[in-house]
Amino acid sequence: MDGSQPIRAAAAREGIRHGTPAFRRTNLAMFAAGLATFGLLYCVQPLMPEFSREYGVSAAQSALSLSLTTGVLAVAMLFAGGVSDALGRKPVMVASLLASALLVLLSALAPGWLALLALRTLLGLALSGLPAVAMTYLGEEMHAESIGLGMGLYISGSAIGGMGGRLVSGVLADGFGWRVGIAAVGAIGLAAALVFWRALPPSRRFAPQPLRPRALAARFAGLFRDAALPWLFAEGFLLLGAFVAVYNYLGYRLLAPPYELSQAAVGLIFAVYLVGTFSSAWMGHLAGRLGRRRVLWTAFALMLAGVALTALRPLPLVALGVVAVTFGFFGGHSIVSSWVGRRAGAARAQASSLYLFAYYMGSSVAGAGGGLFYAAWGWGGVAAFVGALVLAGLLVAWRLYRVPPLAGVTTPPAPMSKGAMP
């Protein structure tokens, strides 16, 4: 027998640990996955005014280029975890990324508006094999002491991908047209997919399971008997719904008087996504020290202040408002997504799927709905709509504050609030 086999078996049992070659390869792969997924998904957002001009569609209709993708993505992710249970985590994720990059490259050649929407709809289906499965892969393969950093790098890659996809497509569209911008993002996504394929270690703690629809439905139903999980799913809907509504229609406002910015300048606004790489880690760490219940409401409060600033006229205040909304969103998402995993127990894969279903349905519904408010009342209508979503998130955060912790789970006491529930 090869003497290295017992060592590999022991490593598989305890998971991928910090400082090992497998840890570095996993983090590189997950960073590339986040970069590709969210770049491919959101690259159309700064181009919506261009779609309106070229195809003669309204702001709300133009937003379908993103809302259709996220709507299909939300539904398909409910089944992606079950498919990966049967076929394996890595094969499903690799196929998802490669197909998504190719669809975005094809969308740069779309001959008309309906063809573009059809390709963006298929993109939602293709992308569904990555987000929920990535969270499950990390939960299975990483050592408990190392999973936090692995998840943090995946979220950082997501933030940079979301920013980079918007930035590249917006800036290139100004000089070469929107098709070149989309093609460039597709090429970057294809390169990232190949890096992911080569770098990600094969699953070592995965056992294939046949698809059992009844058992899967029972696990989904059981999640709604938890006192916190349904409210956490609602928070995901409200967080991304508010965030996407701001970014969907910000370009329309900044391209119009009194600002009349160029398409490239509007694309550069998305550089504020960089604050997400900091806020997700910082607020997640703060929530770990003080308790998620005590910190979550601050993310929504910051978003509400940011929305109010965007309603003012001076451009520096509008930009500061966008920064505040972005900081609060990424911090809130980090807190809520980690809380879902902590509450879900053995049904972690199904909880991740349901959370992401609600999360992306928020993007689809609120992202398109904001266009109706923009058409009727301009940016003031969008700000009021987003403000209502954020206020609802604050109310849900208050409700979550009153939910008792799981048995056996403790959090460190907060020195500033003696009587607060942990």
CATH number, residue 151: 1.20.1250.20
- How large is the average pLDDT for residues 74-96? 87
Tokens of 318: 């509008």
Give the pLDDT confidence of 147-195 residue by residue, as tens digits: 766 776 777 777 788 888 888 998 999 889 999 999 999 999 999 999 9
pLDDT at 248 (0 to 100): 93
Q: Are residues 290 and 371 in the same domain?
A: yes
Q: How confident is the model at residue 315 (pLDDT cuts 50, 70, 90)?
A: very high
Residues 6 or more apart whose Cβ sits within 8 Å of residue 60 = 368, 370, 371, 372, 374, 375
pLDDT at 265 (0 to 100): 86
Q: Are residues 235 and 153 in the same domain?
A: no
| Cis amide linkage into residue 258, ω under 30° from 0 | yes
Residue 410 belongs to a domain: no
Q: For the ranges 8-12, 355-359, 372-376, which has the lowest average pLDDT?
A: 8-12
Give yes or no for residue 411 having a pLDDT over 60: no
What's the half-sphere exposure (Cβ side, CA atoms, 13 Å) at 192? 32
Q: Are residues 28 and 141 in the same domain?
A: yes
Q: What domain range is 331 assigned to? A: 221-405
pLDDT at 200 (0 to 100): 93
Domain count, the chain: 2
Give yes or no for residue 14 having a pLDDT over 70: no
Residue 418 belongs to a domain: no
- How large is the average pLDDT for residues 351-380? 92
pLDDT at 187 (0 to 100): 97
pLDDT at 291 (0 to 100): 84
